[in-house]
Amino acid sequence: MRDTILRRRARRIAAAALLLATCASWAATPAELQRGYAAEAARASPGFRGFSAERGRRFFTTPHGNDWRCASCHTDTPMSEGRHAVTGRALRPLAPAANPARFTDPAKVEKWFRRNCRDVVGRECTAVEKGDVLAWLSSLRAGGAR
């Protein structure tokens, strides 16, 4: 019995490792990450029609649970540095145009979306919400042009 349990556990660990390795290699750019969110959104909602930068901007700047918004820490202009609302820790710019390293590591992206969505929205964000926010952030350009 114990041997069977250990084999099951080992299979689960191997499957999780394979999944993590696959996820870590499927996106290297914000656009690739967004394609992953689009596929997830289409599976969840067959009527999915694409992401909206405007919906992303509204989601980012609108207060959610606890009267927080993404902009509470990342500022209304995510081309500039932000500051964590509680700890005061400096946050590098969120927009890929200002910080090319943003949204290039899928594991980090998911980790921070999970944490921040729970803090700001009170739940995990949907693929559509993530894709919309990423669409808006990707539309931002230096000098304020979109």
- Find residue 91's DSSP bridge partners: 82
User: Is 99 inside any structural domain?
Assistant: yes
- The 10s digit of each residue's pLDDT in 14-73 is 555 444 554 445 447 888 999 999 999 999 998 999 999 999 999 999 998 778 899 999
53-61 and 127-139 helices cross at what angle (nearest 10)? 100
Range of the domain at 46: 28-144
Number of structural domains in the chain: 1
pLDDT above 80 (res 136): yes
User: Is 21 inside any structural domain?
Assistant: no
User: Is 61 inside any structural domain?
Assistant: yes
User: Is 81 inside any structural domain?
Assistant: yes
